[in-house]
Amino acid sequence: MAPAKKRNVSSVKTAEKSAKKAKVDLSKTVERILESRKHANDVFDILESLQAEQEKEVISAVAACSELFCALLERKELFLGKLPGEEDALSGGYSAEDKYRIFMRHRYTSCVEILLEHLSHEQYDIKESAMCCLMKFAAGEGLHPLEDLDWSEHYSFPRELIQALVDNLLSKATDNSLLISRFQEFLEMEDVRYYVMSSIRDNVGKVMDKSKGAVVPVYQNNVFTLMSSISMPNQESELTNFMVKQEGFLNAIRSSATQEHKRVFERMWLGFLKYKLPNSMYKKVLVILHDSILPYMSKPTLMIDFLTAAYEIGGAISLLALNGLFVLIHQHNLDYPDFYKKLYNLLEPSVFHVKYRARFFHLANVFLSSSHLPVYLVAAFAKRLARLALTAPPTALLIVLPFIYNLIRRHPSCRVLIHKPSAEDEPFEDPYLTDEEDPAQCRALESSLWEIKSLQKHYHPDVAKAALLINTPLSEQEDDISETLEVTTYELMEKDLKQPEIKSVPLEFETATRLLKGGGDVLGQHFCLA
Amino acid sequence: MGKAPKKRSLADKVRKTKTTSEIKNNPFEVKINRKKFDVLGRKSKHDVGLPGVSRSKAVNKRKETLLKEYKQKNRCSKFIDRRFGEYDTKMAPEDKILQRFTMERQRVHEKKDVYNLNEEEELTHYGQSLAEMEKFNDVVNSDDESEEKGLLSAELTASHFGGGGGLLRKKALGEEEEGGQRAKSRQELIEELIQKSKQEKRERQVQREEAQELTEKLDQDWKNIQSLMVKKTPKADKQEEKPKLEEYDMMVRELGFEMKAQPSEKMKTPEELAKEEREKLQKLEADRLRRMMGEEVVEGAQSQIHFSADDLNDGFVLDKHDKKTLAYQEGSGEDDGHSDLESEQESENEEEEEASPKPKKTLSKEEVKAQQEAAKAELPYTFAAPESYNDLKDMLRGHTSDNQRLIVARTQKSNHPSLAVGNKLKLQKLFGFLLEYIGELATRSPPELSTIDKLIPEVYALCQMFPDAACKAMQSILGDAAHSMEETLEVKGHAAFPTLDMLIYLKVTALLFPTSDFRHPVTTPALLFISQALTKCPVRSLQDLTSGLVLCSLGVEYVSFSKRFLPELINFLVGTLHLAVQDKASLGYIVVPPFRASGKYSDLLVLSSSESCRSWSKKSLPLSATQQLDLENNPDRDTHRLTCLSTCLDLVKRCCLLYKDLPSFTHIFQPIRTLLSKHLSTQTLPLQELSSEIVEAISSMPVTQSALVFDKRKPIPLKLLTPKIVEVLDYGKKRGSTREEREKERLKHKYKREFKGALREIRKDSRFLAREKLNEVMNRDAERKRKVKELMGSLATQEGEWKSLKRKKK
């Protein structure tokens, strides 16, 4: 609440300089209205400038509105309970006081409507101030409910207002990620978060049903941004930050606050994920799935459908789904048939080129660390990885080679891959079947890792050195691949670039005469200076 | 007690007279040390002892040492006899004298000045004192030598023959002296000589005056007759006039003037050479400046007439003016060796043109102006090293590429590190600026690659001078490029192909540094950069593809010598070939990123019409095609595509050759084989040939391999059971103890033995001393007894005499 206010003040301040006059006018108007009911009609001026063209004017009008209506809410000068129509109010037997209240309440509703419209304005500043103003109203309404309360129910949260806000935030046309990240600070508050989550669920259901399952990228992106900006509390004790009264909220949800939170959270995500998603969205969801979604779900196993679907898609998405699956298998006893076969088939040249390479190899390392795996499977993995290494960049090779060595170390019977003294003399064709999908049938154990032998001639010294290890029996100690997982090409380069002191730099002794000469004249043969 | 020593001394005396062999053979002298048991192989020194001998030895020794000390006891002063060999009985007296004499001489010699010859020792030559001779010489030298003509004076002979004459004269003198009074003193001799020479001199002077008069007279006469004579050089006359010098004298003089071995000019050090070079350039620069100001250089040179040392002064001049001797042209001619021929020739021509109208003496105004212009257009010869990149740019702006090269070369020369302290840093900076300049040239549109081409030798030369700085500069360029690429990769996941300047840098790197090193601070990162670019930059246009092919070519060049495996290269070539495949369905191979099996840009190399194949012929691709390529119509584009394809195929072929030794050759080239044999079979003729060649090369490689085994290790040697060797120090003692203990034990034992020995010696010493004391006392007593006896005797005789006298009286 407090930061919002500050922000508001500051935005007003910036507007002040250019549109001082309008601002002064507006604040005077607000003062007048608040002073005496004679000037009640001036509120129309404010509403008018709220719809003005100029950004500055609108912003100052928003500020004026928030000041005015917050004050009115506090004074309880807005009509409580079910609002009669304006004509009815005039004709009906209301007192002058009531009439005034009804009038103001109507102005308030129209102001809220305008502000909600402003949420999809082109100008970010307007959007932001409108949102902040609405949140202020929400806080005000929470403290001074506009509903007639039963004596038993002491708690009321402006659900409608929040729902409307969320509906407008999750625009189908524009990308609201900036605004949503601004909104994140309100999500710190437990009750707001709770109600926002349930509003999201309602909204997603409505919208997606309307689109009949088709992909709505912008909307889904907005939803995802909003949902991923929700950070769940870890413990009950942390539930301290509330917009409206704490006890009321806890009473309202009537059970353990954390449990309830988790339930709502889970329902929200499931509601979102059950519809078809664009591929990029799959990746985004899967990236955060294992550490910001699964732990906060009351029943993580419900995610299994989504994860299997993602795993079936193939490519990078499958790699990412692996992580979620791992959590489920590891912590929730999920039984996944043909898991290793699928993992084996995930190994493609692109594995070394995708962004999530480090994550994949980390998980693959975990999956293959079991000592109860059959030898044929481990050999198949090793051979497959070696084959793929022929197309891998050096950074990947520095992961893969120790990875293969670790496999062989863990399963000593795989040593035949690099040491087969029985068949030393007679040369034979590589029996390994590249296209075989079943690791059991691929005859990897009959083969040797000639690929690593080839990599001994790799251009990068580190890779060549790593590949040279197969010439001698491997050491007992496993290599720690976690260090090399995140190494980038630039870091690899820096190793040579940032060498402290080189004694003497070797130089080319062939005198350079022309640009395109030298090095076998490959460049000179195909290209000319022009 | 008194008896025993006497005996012993007697025995000693006896022993002394005997030889050792006699003693040894005497059974009474020998004591046999009985051995308790024989130990095989042990030789004992002490099986036979000579107690008498050793005792007498010990006594003698004590007499010399202990007895002396005893006698000196309680005495403050002592007498030391230092005469050489005084107590040495073995020395012959003659030897002693000789030795003493030499010692005496040495002592005297050392004390005096080393450089002074002994005064009493006069050095002589044939009996004549050298000192004297020197003095005579002086007198001779004072004579005017040129005057004496052919006369053989005594002095002359003395100077010529040194002692020889002297000897003669001395003899003569001696004879005289023998005749007259004996031995004139030296003083007198000198005075006599001086007088003599003075007299001679006077005589000669008179003679000369006479001759002069005569010649003058002759000249006068000659002048009178000269008009009558038509041709006759006076020189010939003169020569005839001169009395013929004696051959010998001439020779002597010649020898005097003959060149002695003079130090020749030493070899120039590089610094000196550089200095000379700079001086030359500076001189040229000054010259140029002067001409630019409009001064006529040659005019000034003409006004002062210069005579050479060899001038005969006969008014003969070879030519009007020999231009070749002008310094400037010499300089420019020499400069050719270092700088570009063409421009130099130009400047020389210019020079010639300039020089040719010289006979006109004064130039018209226009001509002067033209000359100034020409001088301005000509390059300066010295350049200050640029302090910043902009300085360099200003320096090179507006010059042709040849001239730019010249400028850089001259800057480098005039700022050679050996000329001034800061030059090294300046040139190191220059290298960085040059690299930057090259980059800028490459980024211009159109890129000025020919200029870069010209600058390459200079860059190379600078790099050779400062490898470290060059390495740093190159590294920073590579590092920056890689860093920016890494950043874009992190944001976008892919990056654009490196621009032309980066491609040029990579090529320059290969030119400056060896690419075949296993690990090199520059080329290894450069190779990594190439591989990074080939894997992370998606091909989206024909320009991109051209860039990629340039990178591939660079990659092939980098590994061409070392034959290292560059997987990214193969990946990219496969991807490029894939771009040319028309039907992307049912592929038998996998395309590696950045290429995709199908997509928006996967048909880049598919020809628009098959007809274009026929008109196509292979041409080199311009490097600028990596930056911008405007091909409007389809035939043009097709030509470019075909050229790219042929380049790609050629690279594939080269790769085949490079990697044919790799064990996984077939697997590496499997996709290329499938592509070429199944998907790209219909192409133009040259490409067809190339591709079939490649397919053949791939399929001809052996598919079979022998299984991997570990390297054979050296067998671990068996454990050898050699005995443990322990040093035995004391037999019969505990041997099980440690080394330290044994050592301690040994030392203890030694100490004990020494202690006992010392005790024994001390006892013997005291016994000896006691004996001596006793001897002394006994000797004293005996003396006293004798004296008393004597006194008593004399008293008795006195008494007796007295008594006898008394008796007589009675």
Which positions in chain A touch B482 (Cβ < 8 Å)? 489-490, 493
Which residues make Cβ contacts (< 8 Å) with residue A299, sequence separation at least 6? A266
Domains of chain A by residue range: 23-148, 152-275, 278-336, 337-498
Residues of B (467-486) whose Cβ lies below 8 Å from A: 467-468, 470-471, 475, 478-479, 482-483, 485-486
Largest CA distance in chain A: 110
B647: distance to nearest CA of chain A, Å?
6
Which positions in chain B touch A515 (Cβ < 8 Å)? 449, 452-453, 456, 504, 507-508, 511
A486: distance to nearest CA of chain B, Å?
12
Residue B803 has pLDDT above 50, yes or no: yes
Instruction: Report the mean per-residue pLDDT for chain B.
Output: 75
According to the model, what pLDDT value does residue B181 have? Answer: 52
Residues of B (618-647) whose Cβ lies below 8 Å from A: 620-624, 647
The reply to whether residue B706 touches residue A430, judged by beta carbons under 8 angstroms, is no
Residue among B564, B664, B710 minimizing CB distance to A450: B664
B571 touching A, CB under 8 A? yes
- Distances from the Cα of B687 to the Cα of A85, B543, B602, B617, B684, angstroms: 85, 21, 20, 10, 6
According to the model, what pLDDT value does residue B376 have? Answer: 59
- The 3-state DSSP class for residue B225 equals helix
Residues of B (326-385) whose Cβ lies below 8 Å from A: none
Best A356, A391, A494 residue to mutate vs chain B (most B CBs within 10 Å) = A391
Comparing B482 with B123, the larger pLDDT belongs to B482
B532 touching A, CB under 8 A? yes
Report which of B478, B494, B492 is spatially closest to residue B537, judged by C-alpha positions: B494
Best A455, A492, A523, A525 residue to mutate vs chain B (most B CBs within 10 Å) = A523
- The 3-state DSSP class for residue A82 equals coil
Which positions in chain B touch A421 (Cβ < 8 Å)? 709
Residue B532 has pLDDT above 50, yes or no: yes
CA nearest to A429 within chain B:
B704
Comparing B169 with B536, the larger pLDDT belongs to B536
The reply to whether residue B592 touches residue A349, judged by beta carbons under 8 angstroms, is yes
B736: distance to nearest CA of chain A, Å?
42
Instruction: Report the mean per-residue pLDDT for chain A.
Output: 76
Percent of chain B residues topping a pLDDT of 90: 12
Residues of A (469-498) whose Cβ lies below 8 Å from B: 470-473, 488-490, 492-494, 496-497
- CA Rg, chain B, in Å? 56
According to the model, what pLDDT value does residue A268 have? Answer: 80
Residue B420 has pLDDT above 90, yes or no: no
Residue A65 has pLDDT above 50, yes or no: yes
Token code pair at residue A410: 């863990």
A154-213, pLDDT tens digit by residue?
A: 556 677 777 777 777 777 777 777 777 777 777 777 777 777 888 887 877 777 777 776
pTM: 0.58
Sign of CA dihedral B12, B14, B17, B21: negative
B753: alpha, beta or left? (left if phi > 0; alpha if psi -120 to 50) = alpha
Verify cis geometry, omega within 30 degrees of 0, for the bond prior to B594.
yes
The reply to whether residue A522 touches residue B522, judged by beta carbons under 8 angstroms, is no
Taking residue B450's Cβ as centre, other Cβ atoms within 10 Å add up to: 15
The reply to whether residue A489 touches residue B486, judged by beta carbons under 8 angstroms, is yes
Residues of B (394-433) whose Cβ lies below 8 Å from A: none
Residue B349 has pLDDT above 60, yes or no: no
The reply to whether residue B482 touches residue A516, judged by beta carbons under 8 angstroms, is no
Distance CA B278, CA B331 (A): 11
Residue A89 has pLDDT above 70, yes or no: no
Residues of A (325-384) whose Cβ lies below 8 Å from B: 348-350, 353-355
B731-773, pLDDT tens digit by residue?
A: 665 556 678 888 888 999 999 999 999 999 999 999 999 999 9
Between A148-162, A386-400, B553-567, B658-672, the lowest mean confidence (pLDDT) is in A148-162
According to the model, what pLDDT value does residue B164 have? Answer: 47
Tell me the average pLDDT across B245-254.
80
Comparing A45 with B266, the larger pLDDT belongs to A45
CA nearest to B466 within chain A:
A505
Up-side HSE of residue A442: CA atoms within 13 Å toward CB?
Answer: 24
Residue B373 has pLDDT above 80, yes or no: no
Residue among B493, B554, B709 minimizing CB distance to A420: B709
According to the model, what pLDDT value does residue B493 have? Answer: 77
The reply to whether residue A448 touches residue B478, judged by beta carbons under 8 angstroms, is no
Would you place residue B320 in the very low, low, confident or very high pLDDT band (cuts 50, 70, 90)?
A: very low
Distance CA B531, CA B568 (A): 6
The reply to whether residue B707 touches residue A471, judged by beta carbons under 8 angstroms, is no
A351-394, pLDDT tens digit by residue?
A: 888 777 888 888 888 888 888 888 888 999 999 999 888 888 88
Tell me the average pLDDT across A484-503.
79
Between A171-180, B185-194, B196-205, B644-653, the lowest mean confidence (pLDDT) is in A171-180
Tell me the average pLDDT across B583-611.
75
A293: distance to nearest CA of chain B, Å?
25
B526 touching A, CB under 8 A? no
According to the model, what pLDDT value does residue B776 have? Answer: 94
Judge whether A305 and A269 are in contact, CB under 8 Å. Answer: no
Residue among A471, A496, A514 minimizing CB distance to B453: A514
Strands A527-528 and B621-622: parallel
The reply to whether residue B520 touches residue A489, judged by beta carbons under 8 angstroms, is no
Tell me the average pLDDT across B648-654.
88
Between A37-46, A378-387, B60-69, the lowest mean confidence (pLDDT) is in A37-46
Judge whether B531 and B568 are in contact, CB under 8 Å. Answer: yes
A218-242, pLDDT tens digit by residue?
A: 777 777 877 777 777 666 555 566 6
According to the model, what pLDDT value does residue B243 have? Answer: 60
B687: distance to nearest CA of chain A, Å?
14
Residue B794 has pLDDT above 90, yes or no: yes
B599 touching A, CB under 8 A? no
Most confident of A436-440, A524-528, B673-677, B769-773: B769-773
Size of interface A-B (CB pairs under 8 A): 252
Distance CA A398, CA B580 (A): 33
Distance CA B199, CA A519 (A): 93
Residue type for B106, please? Q
A513-527, pLDDT tens digit by residue?
A: 777 777 677 778 888
B128 touching A, CB under 8 A? no
A89 touching B, CB under 8 A? no
CA nearest to B668 within chain A:
A390
The reply to whether residue B518 touches residue A349, judged by beta carbons under 8 angstroms, is no
A521: distance to nearest CA of chain B, Å?
7
Tell me the average pLDDT across B334-339.
40
Judge whether B539 and B551 are in contact, CB under 8 Å. Answer: no
Residue B211 has pLDDT above 90, yes or no: yes
Between the two ends of chain B, the Cα-to-Cα distance in Å is: 54
According to the model, what pLDDT value does residue A249 have? Answer: 58
Comparing A367 with B345, the larger pLDDT belongs to A367
Name the strand (E) or helix (H) holding A248. Answer: helix A246-253
Residue B110 has pLDDT above 70, yes or no: no
Most confident of A186-200, B2-16, B210-224: B210-224
Residue B290 has pLDDT above 50, yes or no: yes
Most confident of A176-185, B245-254, B551-560: B551-560
The reply to whether residue B507 touches residue A419, judged by beta carbons under 8 angstroms, is no
Between B320-334, B392-406, B465-479, B648-662, the lowest mean confidence (pLDDT) is in B320-334
Which positions in chain B touch A392 (Cβ < 8 Å)? 567
B677-715, pLDDT tens digit by residue?
A: 877 765 556 677 778 888 888 888 777 777 777 777 778
The reply to whether residue B593 touches residue A353, judged by beta carbons under 8 angstroms, is yes
Would you place residue B155 in the very low, low, confident or very high pLDDT band (cuts 50, 70, 90)?
A: low
Tell me the average pLDDT across B703-728.
78
Which positions in chain A touch B485 (Cβ < 8 Å)? 490
A120-163, pLDDT tens digit by residue?
A: 777 777 777 887 888 877 777 777 766 655 544 555 667 777 77
Would you place residue B37 in the very low, low, confident or very high pLDDT band (cuts 50, 70, 90)?
A: confident
Comparing A212 with B333, the larger pLDDT belongs to A212
Residue B390 has pLDDT above 90, yes or no: no
The reply to whether residue B559 touches residue A448, judged by beta carbons under 8 angstroms, is no
Between B325-334, B381-390, B564-573, the lowest mean confidence (pLDDT) is in B325-334
According to the model, what pLDDT value does residue B704 have? Answer: 75
According to the model, what pLDDT value does residue B751 have? Answer: 97
Residue among B510, B531, B571 minimizing CB distance to A519: B510
Up-side HSE of residue B777: CA atoms within 13 Å toward CB?
Answer: 7
The reply to whether residue A520 touches residue B556, judged by beta carbons under 8 angstroms, is yes
Would you place residue A12 in the very low, low, confident or very high pLDDT band (cuts 50, 70, 90)?
A: very low
Judge whether A391 and A350 are in contact, CB under 8 Å. Answer: no
- Distances from the Cα of A87 to the Cα of A91, A93, A335, angstroms: 6, 11, 66
> Residue B600 gets which letter from DSSP?
T
A511 touching B, CB under 8 A? yes
Judge whether B631 and B637 are in contact, CB under 8 Å. Answer: yes
